[in-house]
Amino acid sequence: MRAYAYFPGCSQGSSAHEYGESARAAAEALGIELREIPDWSCCGASSGHMTNHLLSVALPARNLAIAAEMGLDVAVVCAACYNRLRGAQKELLEDEGLASRVEEVLGRDPRFRGEVLHLLDIIFRHVDLEELKERVSAPLKELRPVSYYGCLMARPRGLMTEDNPEYPVRMDRLLEALGAEVRPWSYKTDCCGGSLSLTRTDVVVKLVNRLFEAAEEADANCIVTACPMCLANLEMRQSEGALSFRVPHQLPVFFFTELIALALGLEEARSWFPKHLIDPQPLLRGAGLI
């Protein structure tokens, strides 16, 4: 079993609790050990980097410094956390002056020379998809998902290098290995309006409506993401957009880790779906998955 220093991030213990639980369960089932970084702290997304540059680097750097002491590469599940940790690491390794200032603030060396990886990419490193197909006990054959990455997992170019920044495909390939009929669409990395969630909900509603309409045009019956903010926006904006949307949308939105656990027959998967604001259980029952 390959071990990683796991940075859970704030939302996985609160608004995206089912993401945190399913990430741990899916990782364990796939032979990936997530050792939680002791005394981890918020990475600062997104208020930190909009407030003070030194703060925006020091917050993720603290977690990277602890991970370095653990002697492990870092695993992240939240797209925003992933972006902030990876961005801070790059800055600290390239800017010695900044690294020295952050070291003075933290009282420890912030230069992390290991790898910062999203759980999706870790799975691709350690799991053979053909072998995974053989382990699937509940194929997702009635699900027609579109994969939704959002802004922060594939961009900016040069920082996120694990997949194609314009048209990433790893989530597609994983879902296909689980038996799903993945639908092609061109909105994989379009913005859901995450940073405007509190200040310009009118803009967010329009962006979310566009994503749902595009998913429906692709003949999808669900959306799958790896970003807790994206999932929250897609689910929460239904009621706010009721008067703005041309038609109401009821496509369920899943975390990719939930579907891994479901396809592998993990019993705890059933407990996560009632927590969703758009109830996915009718779709899963119709597909014979619960």
Give the range among 98-112, 140-154, 227-241 with minimum mean pLDDT. 227-241
My answer on whether 139 and 99 are in the same domain is: no
Query: Which segments within the chain are labelled E, that is strand?
Result: 2-7, 32-36, 74-76, 116-118, 145-148, 222-225, 253-255
> Is 164 found in the same domain as 87?
no
Assess contact for 82 and 118: CB atoms under 8 A.
yes
Which of 84, 99, 119 delimits the end of a domain?
119
Residues 214 and 235 placed together within one structural domain of the fold: yes
C-alpha to C-alpha distance for 228 and 205, rounded to whole angstroms: 17
Question: Are 111 and 161 in the same domain?
Answer: no
Domain final position from 74, 89, 119: 119
140 and 18 share one domain: no
pLDDT recorded at residue 248: 62
What is the Cα–Cα distance from 120 to 131, expressed in whole angstroms? Answer: 17
Enter the pTM of the model. Answer: 0.93
Domain containing 97 — which CATH number? 1.20.1050.140
CATH of the domain at 225: 3.40.50.11810
Confirm if 171 and 260 have CB atoms less than 8 A apart: no
- C-alpha Rg value of the chain to the nearest Å: 19
With respect to residue 124, please indicate whether it lies within any of the assigned structural domains. Answer: no
- Is pLDDT above 70 for 245? no
pLDDT-wise least confident of 4-8, 131-135, 234-238: 234-238
pLDDT at 243: 46
Q: Which residue has the higher pLDDT, 265 or 229?
A: 265
Same domain, 158 and 275: yes
3-state SS assignment for residue 267:
helix
Cα separation of 64 and 86, whole Å? 9
Per-residue pLDDT at 148: 96
User: How many C-beta atoms surround the C-beta of residue 290 within 10 A?
Assistant: 15
Domain boundary among 72, 89, 119: 119
* Average pLDDT of the chain to the nearest whole number: 90
Between residues 12 and 286, which one has the greater pLDDT?
286
Domain assignment of residue 236, yes or no? yes
What is the per-residue pLDDT for 19? Answer: 95
Q: Which residue has the higher pLDDT, 129 or 161?
A: 129
For residue 195, what are its two tokens? Answer: 């940073």
At residue 226, the pLDDT reads 93
Is residue 282 in a domain? yes
The mean pLDDT value for 108-122 works out to: 96
Crossing angle of helices 119-126 and 170-177, rounded to 10°: 60
CA distance 272 to 118: 21
Whether 138 and 279 map to the same domain: the answer is yes
Are 180 and 245 in a shared domain? Answer: yes
197 and 171: one domain? yes
Compare 202 and 86 and report the one with higher pLDDT. Answer: 86
Domain count, the chain: 2
CA-wise closest residue to 125 among 2, 20, 5, 226: 2
- Most confident range (mean pLDDT) of 39-48, 55-64, 201-210 is 55-64
Contacts (Cβ under 8 Å, ≥6 apart) of 210: 187, 190
CB 168 within 8 A of CB 225: no
- How many residues are there in the chain? 290
Encode pLDDT of 216-240 as tens digits: 999 999 999 999 989 988 988 765 5
23 and 142, same domain (yes or no): no
For the chain, give me the number of helices (H) and strands (E)?
Answer: 11, 7
Is residue 96 scored above 50 in pLDDT?
yes
**Which of 53-67, 184-198, 205-219, 255-269 comes out lowest in average pLDDT?**
184-198
pLDDT digits (tens, 9 = 90+) for 159-190: 666 778 788 999 999 999 999 999 999 999 99
CA distances to 100, 104, 145 from 96, rounded to whole Å, are: 6, 12, 45
What is the pLDDT, as a whole number, of residue 51? Answer: 77
In a domain, 258, yes or no: yes
Please give the Cα distance from 39 to 65 (Å, whole number). Answer: 12
What domain range is 257 assigned to? 129-286
